[in-house]
Every structure is written in structure tokens, then in C-alpha cells.
Amino acid sequence: MTPDGSIPAGDHLVRRTLTEEVLTPDHPPRTASAEFERNRSALLAAGHGCLVCGSKGSAEHPLEAHHWIEWSGWEHVDPAKMAAVLQRIDVYGYGAQLGAQPIQSPDDIRNLVLLCSSAPLQAQPVAGGHHRGVDMGIHMVTFPIWLLQLVVRDGVDVTAAIASVKAKDPAMAGPQPAGG
């Protein structure tokens, strides 16, 4: 969309409502592990930015480490399959480096990718950014749409501008993303 909320000539709006019904195994309450903090720090120290936009984050909106394979599904995971998959989804090279070395937990560095926690869309900051932001975060749009954001030409947005959508249709605003 353009800043005034209109749709550019040659584009059309596709609106989907996605409902997931996910069977999540029971699990004890979780807190960020020492392994998670160590690996997130290592990725930051290596100078990586948000995988989508390259942002290095800020004190107010730090980069977050997203788990490719979520903790919520860990009880059902075959660690050998996970190690194999993380040799194919291997944005930092740790999959190649560690090979089939067993995965002990989703906090393994092979399973983490840095994403921003705030990013602009049509000059409006979107809380949650490419991690949990409405209409842009990996938790909030389908994978093909999320991935498209990595490759569009500069100045092109692939999802509707949040501010103009809210102004036109409050029901579209949806739930606000949780932080973290």
C-alpha cells in the first residue's frame, strides 16, 4: 500500500484468515537457558543483523533469537532429524560446522536466527518487527510471505501498511503481538 492507504496500480490486496489447530505436547514452564543466552550473544558478537532487514537492533528494540524449531514442539522432536534439517536451513554455517552432532535442545546455535523486534513499514514502526510484528513477523504471516520480504526491491512492501489498514478497518488490526 501507499502511505495514504491506497493500493498501487498493478497490485491487488489478498486477505487471508489462517486458523491453526496445533497439538502441543505438555511441557514444564520454560525460562531462557544459559545456552540460549550464550548462543544469542555469540550471534550478536559475530555482527549478524536481522535476517530479513539487516537491522542491528537498538537498546530499546534489541535483536531477538528466533528458534527455527520451536520449544513448544521439542517433546515430539527426533534430534537426529533436527540436526539433518539444520544442515539445510543453515544461515550462519553452524549446521555445516557441527554436522550430525546431536542436538540437546532447541537453544542449540544451529537452531537460532536473529530477527528484529521493531521494524518500519511505510515509515510506521511495527512492534515485534520481523519476529512477531503484525503483517511482517515470522510468527504472524505465512512463510512464503515472510520470505518474500528478504528479496523485494528497495521501497516495496509485500504486506499492507498497518497504520492505513487500521484506519480503514479496525477489525483488521488484530491482536497485538506479545514481546520476547
Which residues bind to Zn ion, rule: CB under 5 A?
50, 52-53, 55, 116, 119, 129-130
Q: Which three cell numbers stand for residue 87?
A: 544442515
Instruction: For residue 28, give Cα distances in angstroms to 9, 25, 69.
Output: 51, 10, 17
Minimum distance from CB of 126 to Zn ion (Å)? 10
| CB 130, CB 50: distance < 8 Å | yes
Residue (130 or 132) nearer to Zn ion, CB = 130
Residue (52 or 165) nearer to Zn ion, CB = 52
Minimum distance from CB of 79 to Zn ion (Å)? 29
CA 149, CA 66: separation in Å to the nearest integer? 17
Minimum distance from CB of 149 to Zn ion (Å)? 8
Q: How many CA atoms lie within 13 A of 142 on its CB side?
A: 10
Minimum distance from CB of 114 to Zn ion (Å)? 9
Residue (52 or 103) nearer to Zn ion, CB = 52
